[in-house]
Structure 1
Amino acid sequence: MAKDDHDPSATNNISAKELDNPSKKATDRLDQLSSHLSPPSPEQPQQTSPHTKKQRRKSKSSSSASSLPPDYSDILSQLSTLRTLAATPDPTSRGYIRQKQAGKLWVRERIEQLLDPGSFKEIGSVTGTVTWKPTTPTTTGPGSRPETPVSFTPSNNIQGTGKLRGRQVLLTADDFSIRGGHADGAIMEKTIYLEKMAIAMKLPIVKLVDGSSGGGSVTTIRKEGWSYIPYVSSLRYAAKQLNMGIPNLGAVVGPAIGLGAARVVSCHFSVMAADIGSLFNAGPKVVEGATFEEGLSFNDLGGPLMHCTNGTIDNLAANEAECYEQLRTVLGYLPNSGSDAPPVISPCEDPEDREDLALRTIIPRRKARMYNPRVIITSVVDKGSWFEIGALWGKTAISGLARLGGRPVGIISLNCEVNGGALDAAGSQKLTRLLKLCDVMNLPVVQFVDIPGYAIGTIAERTATMRWGVELAKAYYSTTTPIFSVITRRVFGVAGGVMLGARDPVMQVAWPSGNWGSLPLDGGIEVGHRHELREAEKAGKKAELYKELEEEYTRLMNPVRTANAFGIEEIIDPKDTRAVCCAWARHVYEVLMKDRLVDRACGKIQPSFS
């Protein structure tokens, strides 16, 4: 007797005796195949095997499943419904009305304005909370589903991929109209997934912050029935991206609160919309309860005048549209990750050997007079390529990005129009940040040096100038990106020594206006000749002696004398500065960049931004 169909020892429902009879086995198999290919007519009843009977039983039991649409159109219809609900704003929604009254774009309008048309592909498009309705009796039957979606509250963090001027990027954008961006309207796993994807795919990530970016709300406690320990898992991956040189670009396009503030501040570059942006650790009501500061508006607490002037946010933009343009511009200078070279524009329409005779006279012969250092920068770099970062803070220093012969470079300059060019604490912080950015992005640096030293006086001491000056020194010595220096005028003190001596061998040239030493003559003569001047003062000849000493030191500090002793490698005609800088940048990209990328790939150099 054949074994029972449910006997686990049965093999394809064929008994052990049948296994010993290959002819019988083959005949039964052919019968099974024939029953599928050409079912028997009523006049010719089919001889069935135990296997065939079992198949019929299975067929009857799965009749409801086989009656569902073979193309899964029912599932696709549900997905389409949810996506339509997510992409269609509800003009009666309190959150949407508030968004529009504040003069802000809705989140999906922002995505359309920022990215290249038609390039956005959402990730987690149906993530959110769905209200399902059982199907009515008239809609039940073969092919129907037992329920259908009637309302959908999507996650308030929209994420996906798109393109910025043809460059593939990842995008995360807050929907402040849903729960103000709080955690009870978000799916944290969705945010963390995108952060991980940026690392795995080595793609730049753009963050549009409007709210808490999934940060906490006390209502979560009520909803869940318990309070949670607030781990911030996403910042772990953001820190890794920063050090890998995966561009993190953030825009404040609303109130950035708590975690939202942290996410945008931890970017390589951040910008705030002046008309709608603000940033704070906690909102006015929380501040009022904690510090008793009452009646604070968003602008009072953390508006653009606060955070675009203290270095929390890099740049200020007039509105959302300008924010997005700055994001596009900055990305154009950066690689997808530190394992790549920055993108080169070729051919460059601005001749690399272009001369500018006006540079011969930009440095005043009278040393106490100032000049506009940005004129030098825009003259030397490719026309239209200068993009300043942090113009409203750390004003003793100037930093930004530009191109030389189509090759992206970082730019550093001192600003003699502020504090005489003496580098203060905020200026040191700004230059430290740019050096680290250029290091993780493989951007070579060109710096225009005119520095009398670190700032001095009670304000300088109170703001910890030396502490931040040493942090800048550590950045110069710990980074490895190539640096080329153009000494336009002064180089004095520790600050001057740090800026020029951080690479060995140094790569530098000087202008004929070069003036350097341990201390500037103003004050330096008083210190070095204190006793002599005191004695001359007793004799009524201090002014005469001082003038004599000043003339002598001025003669000895002729930059040509320094060149005679090979204290400066070369003094160039200022009009040729562009050609010299472009030649250096060309060598870096054509020769040195290859070795640098290999060193990064094998871990020989490991830049750090965080």
Structure 2
Amino acid sequence: MPSKPASASASAESGKSTATERLSQVAGHVAGSQDTSPPESETRGKGRRRSKSSRTAGPPADYSDVLGNLQKLRTIAHTPDVNNRGYVRQKSEGKLWVRERLDQLLDKDSFREIGSASGFVEWRQTGPRDEEPVGFTPTNNLQGFGLLGGRKIILTADDYSIRAGHADGAISDKTVYTEKLAIALHLPIIKLTDGSSGGGSVTSIKKFGWSYVPGVPGFIEAINGLNMGIPNLAAVLGPAIGIGAARAVACHFSVMAGDIGSLFNAGPQVVELATFEEGLSLRDLGGPAIHCTNGTIDNLAANEAECFDQLRTVLSFLPDCGHSKLPPIIQSRDPISRTNEELRTIIPRKKTRMYDAKAIIRIVVDRGSWFEIGALWGRTAIVGLARLGGHPVGVISLNCEVNAGALDAGGAQKITRHLKLCDVMNLPVVQFVDVPGYAIGTVAEKQATMRWGVELAKAYLSTTVPLFNILTRRVYGVAGGVMVACRDPMMRVAWPSGEWGSLPLDGGIEVGHRWQLKQAEAEAEGKKQELYTRLEDEYRRLMNPIRTANAFGVEEIIDPAQTRRIAAEWTIHV
């Protein structure tokens, strides 16, 4: 048999080599799509180039050149540069890297990134029409889909290691896109804030060559989502600055990591030049001791892991969209028929003695379901989320252990905020009412208690969420009337310990019988006290709650031990 010409043999070998190389490229791409941890030689975008003969043959039919370059960019983005100054700073401050946060928060392997190749690339030309990346800085804000407790969510997370989250390291269209996506798909959105979330930096002027009039990209969409009942939940996992701070505070729920979190309009250096306050640390300026106690941030967590736990818990009570879906119901192992005899003695017979209002909540709701919101601020009020018979509910109570339960400006603000949350999320509200009225005195007046009390009244009267009132003890004044008489028909029951009226007897007797008491004092020593005691005894007798029920002034007086069953039946019905 005649032998093949040498040139033909070489051509065959070359074709075989090209085919093998393309197959290797495709195999590498398929493997890479499942594993973003390639050999060290490829981690910084210096992968193997195609041979000269392959390049001159034209682009590969399988687009492996494009896919290969994409994989290089994704590999760089997924591989932390341990020598990068920003990454070193992140770790030295005890913070997780942004992708480590995603791994800890989301269900395992559930994150699907949006804009995985977005960033700033340095390209090298390898042919007339070919090029390859030799350097890549990803954008400093990650977006994507993920699962949280099995539920699909949208997530946006700042990467503080790249330009501290400033605009010159971001692409604002990504942030705006995810806000729009959450609205379009009716999906909750989680925001992990660490930096300015695309906020401005003066370096942008130098970069663009001109100074722009500031805007708030994505903020309008975020507010639209809030008003639609798209759950917006935020964790402050570092310094939240400017628009980053605003995005976190605007959310339905926010939590700050106590060991690393802070929040402010401008950082210490800007503050020093503007207000001459020198030597402020991030925590001095806006740490948890400030913003978790003034209502700017809802809750405090010990660390990042606890922040993630709180986000999971809050989301478990909320629907994907309050305008179109109902809150999730779970199977409860705690029977609604459970009686609680300890509730019969939890309210002291002596009117001046206090009790633990949170204990009542924990006893009545499903065991282990109580989650308090805003425990460190507005402490005259108690609000949170819980379940009754597996159904999510909002809970509101007054706290008689703080200011004797008189509702101050902070407490009014907290209840107002919670009412609006429950209203937009379709969560019925169970209220435990023991309120002697709005706070009084010079401190209360300076805090604009009446202003915030009126705002609370407007919230009660403008929301439509179903309310169930349990009158545990006092219901007095405008504050009491606002809380229990804001629905028609009113849904309420009273405990035997209930008392109510326009004014508490303490102070009310002095006002209503001032002239008689003054005359008695003038007649003889001890006469005033004798008259006061006689009047108080008479009023106490007439304030027997059964007399109110006789007149249908209260719909029903119940055995406190049966409170759980009654409240749960109402919740399940509505």
Structure 1-normalised TM-score? 0.84
Match of 1:397 in 2: 381
Match of 1:216 in 2: 200
Which letter maps to 2:317?
Answer: Y
**Correspondence 1:113 to 2:104:** yes
**Cα contact 1:491–1:517 (8 A) shared by 2:** yes
Structure 2 CA distance, aligned partners of 1:531 and 1:432? Answer: 40
**Correspondence 1:85 to 2:76:** yes
- Residue by residue over 1:348-385, the C-alpha shift from the partner in whole angstroms, topping out at 9 and shown as x without a partner, is 10000100100000000000000000010000000000
SS at match of 1:363: coil
Match of 2:16 in 1: none
Structure 2 CA distance, aligned partners of 1:532 and 1:133? Answer: 97
- Residue by residue over 1:227-256, the C-alpha shift from the partner in whole angstroms, topping out at 9 and shown as x without a partner, is 001110311011101110000000000000
Match of 1:263 in 2: 247
- Residue by residue over 1:193-214, the C-alpha shift from the partner in whole angstroms, topping out at 9 and shown as x without a partner, is 0010011001000000000000
Which protein has the larger Cα radius of gyration, Structure 1 or Structure 2?
1
- Residue by residue over 1:315-335, the C-alpha shift from the partner in whole angstroms, topping out at 9 and shown as x without a partner, is 000000000000000000000
**Correspondence 1:587 to 2:570:** no
**Residue 65 of structure 1, CA deviation:** 9.9
Structure 1 CA distance, aligned partners of 2:56 and 2:335? Answer: 71
Match of 2:212 in 1: 228
Alignment RMSD (CA, Å): 1.1
Of the three residues 128, 153, 157, the one matched with 2:137 is 153
SS at match of 2:317: coil
Match of 2:471 in 1: 487
Of the three residues 114, 119, 127, the one matched with 2:118 is 127
| Pairing of 1:496-511 with structure 2 (within 5 A) | 496-511=480-495
Match of 1:331 in 2: 315
Structure 2 CA distance, aligned partners of 1:585 and 1:388? Answer: 19
Of the three residues 374, 379, 386, the one matched with 2:363 is 379
**Residue 145 of structure 1, CA deviation:** 5.5
Structure 2 CA distance, aligned partners of 1:435 and 1:441? Answer: 10
SS at match of 1:560: helix
- Residue by residue over 1:245-277, the C-alpha shift from the partner in whole angstroms, topping out at 9 and shown as x without a partner, is 000000000000001000000000000000000
SS at match of 1:459: helix
- Size of the aligned set, in residue pairs, is 518
**Cα contact 1:74–1:145 (8 A) shared by 2:** no
Match of 2:27 in 1: none
SS at match of 1:103: coil
Match of 1:430 in 2: 414
**Residue 67 of structure 1, CA deviation:** 3.1
SS at match of 1:242: helix
Which letter maps to 2:295?
Answer: G
Q: Percent identity?
A: 70
Structure 1 stretches of 4+ with a deviation exceeding 4 A read 63-66
Which letter maps to 2:330?
Answer: I
Runs of at least 5 residues in structure 1 that lack an aligned partner in the other structure: 1-62, 589-610
SS at match of 2:290: helix
Of the three residues 306, 313, 316, the one matched with 2:297 is 313
Match of 1:569 in 2: 555
- Residue by residue over 1:394-451, the C-alpha shift from the partner in whole angstroms, topping out at 9 and shown as x without a partner, is 0000000000000000000000000000000000000000000000000000000000
| Pairing of 1:139-538 with structure 2 (within 5 A) | 146-338=130-322, 339-346=324-331, 348-538=332-522
SS at match of 1:378: helix
Structure 2 CA distance, aligned partners of 1:307 and 1:153? Answer: 33
Structure 2 CA distance, aligned partners of 1:65 and 1:147? Answer: 14
Structure 1 CA distance, aligned partners of 2:288 and 2:428? Answer: 31
Structure 1 CA distance, aligned partners of 2:97 and 2:217? Answer: 27
**Cα contact 1:355–1:578 (8 A) shared by 2:** yes
Match of 1:559 in 2: 545
Structure 1 CA distance, aligned partners of 2:209 and 2:400? Answer: 60
- Residue by residue over 1:94-143, the C-alpha shift from the partner in whole angstroms, topping out at 9 and shown as x without a partner, is 000000000000000001100000100000001000011122xxxx5xxx
Which letter maps to 1:421?
Answer: G
**Correspondence 1:545 to 2:531:** yes
Structure 1 CA distance, aligned partners of 2:434 and 2:57? Answer: 81
Structure 2 CA distance, aligned partners of 1:353 and 1:539? Answer: 59
- Residue by residue over 1:486-532, the C-alpha shift from the partner in whole angstroms, topping out at 9 and shown as x without a partner, is 00000000000000000000000000000100000000000000000
**Residue 564 of structure 1, CA deviation:** 0.7
Which letter maps to 1:345?
Answer: I
Structure 1 CA distance, aligned partners of 2:217 and 2:117? Answer: 23
**Residue 66 of structure 1, CA deviation:** 7.9
- Residue by residue over 1:515-561, the C-alpha shift from the partner in whole angstroms, topping out at 9 and shown as x without a partner, is 10000000000000000000001012100000000000000000010
- Residue by residue over 1:133-186, the C-alpha shift from the partner in whole angstroms, topping out at 9 and shown as x without a partner, is 122xxxx5xxx9621101100000000000100010000000000000000000
**Residue 477 of structure 1, CA deviation:** 0.2
Which letter maps to 1:171?
Answer: L
| Pairing of 1:11-22 with structure 2 (within 5 A) | none
SS at match of 2:300: strand
Structure 2 CA distance, aligned partners of 1:524 and 1:235? Answer: 50
| Pairing of 1:2-151 with structure 2 (within 5 A) | 67-135=58-126, 146-151=130-135
Which letter maps to 1:581?
Answer: A
Structure 1 CA distance, aligned partners of 2:207 and 2:342? Answer: 69
Structure 2 CA distance, aligned partners of 1:447 and 1:580? Answer: 13
Alignment CA distance shift 1:240-1:66 (3 Å): farther
SS at match of 1:332: helix
Structure 2 CA distance, aligned partners of 1:426 and 1:478? Answer: 20
Which letter maps to 2:193?
Answer: V
SS at match of 2:562: helix
- Residue by residue over 1:256-310, the C-alpha shift from the partner in whole angstroms, topping out at 9 and shown as x without a partner, is 0001000000000000000000000000000001111100000100000000000
Structure 2 CA distance, aligned partners of 1:579 and 1:369? Answer: 27
Structure 2 CA distance, aligned partners of 1:297 and 1:255? Answer: 11
Alignment CA distance shift 1:409-1:66 (3 Å): farther
Which letter maps to 1:490?
Answer: R
Which letter maps to 2:437?
Answer: G
**Correspondence 1:578 to 2:564:** yes
Match of 1:33 in 2: none
Which letter maps to 1:530?
Answer: R
Match of 2:25 in 1: none
Structure 2 CA distance, aligned partners of 1:103 and 1:127? Answer: 27
